[in-house]
């Protein structure tokens, strides 16, 4: 009897251990995404600190989910226009998303402190329009934590954001610079 | 004489009109951001109720809470503090979430309200007022439940 219960117990222990997900997933809720647009007329900047990101060091998957109403502009009117129907239409499309894969995963040692150049390729979705992206970034490993830094250009018309005339056409750049920082912790 | 007087009056009205118009343009241009804490609260509810409303029907909840110009609803949310952290803008972030809830309400404070977040304790039940920026949802790509996002927050109770 004792033997049976012992073997049941050991079976249970093994089952629990085996079923525990072996995850290399890191999560970031400490992020900063910045838009920067420059034209001869003016520079426009918007900042967002509320995006969520995951990074899987085993598969190289990187995901960002960005709450679009979280972008803050210096001028309130500009922020209102940005959120509006003709621009990002954030009521209808409250989130933008990036799903990508690190393509040089073998060159990054997540177990060793250091700074690594990473290349990612994937898809950016804004207003339900998805476009392929291929960008470079830096991954910094420090004491078990991971930080990702990247800067890339985004062409607004790729996502159906276009201004033919008036102030937006002259004041907003056709291609804007996006800067991303995310600090990850192991889940 | 009367003609001269009339010209003067028309001229005066014109000048006043021009000043008013440029004033309106300047006001629009330099229009200040909405002060959320002095804005009237639109909805009062618990963190769990708000999360569940989103998880049950995200489209209906977005329609109810989000505004087309970004001036979304001002909400007072009551819940238990699960964590107190800081974002890259040195703003305090309080997560209101019940132990058994799938998602919570993430509230970002401001330079002006950070001090009240510092006084808060994990496990304490508080009421936070802020503007909603996004709802809760399960995201397949992240493999996570995303929290409701409130910004310009302060603890009011």
> Where do the domains of chain A lie?
23-186
Residue of A nearest to B67 (CA): A91
Q: Is residue B127 domain-shared with residue B78, that is, in the same domain? A: yes
Looking at the structure, do residues B67 and B127 belong to the same domain, yes or no? yes
Number of domains in chain B: 2
User: What is this model's ipTM?
Assistant: 0.84
The average pLDDT across B60-71 equals: 93
CATH T-level assignment (fold) for domain A23-186: Lipocalin (2.40.128)
Averaged pLDDT, B127-144 = 95
Nearest to A50 among B69, B144, B149 (CB): B149
Distance from CA of B147 to the nearest CA of A (A): 9
* In a shared domain, residues B25 and B74: no
Contact A83 B70 (CB under 8 A): yes
Q: B20 is in which domain, residue-wise?
A: 1-31
Distance CA B150, CA B157 (A): 16
Q: Choose from A78-87, B25-34, B93-102 the range with maximum mean pLDDT.
A: B93-102
One domain for residues B107 and B55: yes
Give residue-wise pLDDT tens across range B100-111: 999 999 999 999
Q: In whole angstroms, give the CA distance from residue A83 to residue A15.
A: 51
What residues contact B24, with CB distance under 8 A and at least 6 apart?
none
Q: Do the Cβ atoms of A80 and B71 come within 8 Å?
A: yes
The confidence score (pLDDT) of residue A27 equals: 95
For B68, the closest of A67, A75, A85 (CB atoms) is A85
Classify residue B152 as left (phi > 0), alpha (psi -120 to 50) or beta. left
Q: What is the model's pLDDT at position A14?
A: 55
pLDDT at B30: 74
- Whether B107 has its CB under 8 Å from any CB of chain A: the answer is no
Burial class (CB in 10 A: 0-12, 13-18, 19+), B113: buried
CA distances from A39 to A47, A176, A178, B101 (A): 18, 10, 15, 47
pTM for the model stands at 0.85
In DSSP terms, A119 is beta-bridged to A136
B14 and B87 share one domain: no
Q: What is the pLDDT of residue B29?
A: 72
Q: Which residue has the tokens 């699960």?
A: B82
Contacts with B28 from chain A: Cβ below 8 Å: 77
Same domain for B96 and B83: yes
The residue-averaged pLDDT of B39-55 equals 96
Q: Chain A contact for B111, CB < 8 A?
A: no
**How far is the C-alpha of A120 from the C-alpha of B114, rounded, in Å?**
36
CB B87 within 8 A of CB B142: no
pLDDT given for residue A86 in this prediction: 84
Q: Which residue on chain B is closest to A30 by alpha carbon?
A: B87
The answer to whether the Cβ–Cβ distance between A49 and B68 falls below 8 Å is no
Rounded Cα distance between B122 and B124, Å, is 6
Q: Is B140 touching A (CB cutoff 8 A)?
A: no
Are both B24 and B44 inside the same structural domain? Answer: no
Task: Mark whether B57 and B110 lie in a shared domain.
Answer: yes
CB A165 within 8 A of CB A9: no
Average pLDDT, chain B: 93
Strand partners, B144: B139
Query: Does B138 lie in the same domain as B65?
Result: yes
Q: Do B29 and A77 touch (CB under 8 A)?
A: yes
Q: What is the CATH number of the domain that holds B66?
A: 2.40.50.140
Any CB–CB contact under 8 A between B6 and chain A? Answer: no
The answer to whether the beta carbons of residues B109 and B153 sit under 8 Å apart is: yes
Neighboring chain B residues of A53 at a CB cutoff of 8 Å: 142
Which B residues in the span 40-79 are in contact with A, Cβ-Cβ below 8 Å? 62-63, 66-72
Binned at pLDDT 50, 70 and 90, residue B66 comes out as very high
Residue B3: the pLDDT is 73
Given this model, what pLDDT does residue B22 score?
Answer: 84
- Judge whether residue B151 has pLDDT over 90: yes
Q: Residues in chain A with pLDDT < 50? A: 17, 20
The rounded distance, in Å, linking the Cα atoms of B43 and B62 is 14
């Amino acid at each position: 009897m004792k033997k049976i219960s012992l073997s049941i117990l050991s079976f249970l222990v093994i089952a629990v251990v085996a079923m525990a997900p072996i995850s290399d997933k890191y999560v970031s809720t400490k992020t900063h995404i910045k838009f920067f647009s420059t034209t001869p007329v003016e520079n426009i900047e918007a900042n967002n600190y509320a995006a969520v990101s995951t990074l899987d060091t085993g598969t190289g998957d990187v995901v960002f989910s960005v709450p679009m109403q979280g972008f803050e502009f210096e001028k309130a009117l500009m922020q209102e226009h940005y959120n509006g129907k003709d621009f990002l239409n954030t009521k209808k499309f409250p989130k933008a998303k990036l799903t990508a894969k690190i393509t040089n995963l073998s060159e990054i040692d997540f177990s060793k402190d250091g700074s690594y150049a990473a290349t990612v390729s994937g898809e950016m979705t804004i207003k339900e329009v998805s476009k392929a992206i291929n960008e470079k970034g830096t991954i910094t490993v420090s004491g078990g934590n991971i930080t990702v830094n990247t800067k890339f250009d985004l062409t607004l018309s790729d996502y159906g954001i276009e201004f033919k005339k008036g102030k937006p056409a002259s004041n907003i750049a056709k291609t804007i610079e996006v800067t991303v920082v995310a600090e990850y912790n192991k889940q | 004489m009367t003609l001269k007087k009339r010209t003067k009056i028309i001229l005066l009205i014109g000048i006043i009109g021009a000043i008013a118009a440029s004033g309106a343009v300047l006001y629009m241009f330099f229009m200040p951001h909405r002060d959320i804490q002095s804005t009237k609260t639109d909805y009062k509810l618990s963190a769990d109720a708000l999360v569940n409303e989103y998880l049950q029907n995200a489209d209906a909840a977005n329609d109810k809470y989000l505004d087309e110009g970004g001036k979304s609803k001002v909400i007072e949310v009551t819940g238990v503090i699960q964590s107190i952290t800081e974002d890259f803008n040195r703003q305090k972030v309080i997560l209101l979430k019940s132990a058994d809830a799938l998602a919570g309400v993430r509230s970002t404070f401001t330079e002006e309200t950070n001090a009240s977040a510092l006084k808060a304790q994990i496990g304490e039940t508080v009421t936070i007022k802020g503007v909603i920026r996004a709802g809760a949802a399960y995201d397949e790509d992240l493999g996570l439940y995303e929290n409701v996002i409130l910004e310009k927050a302060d603890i009011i109770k």
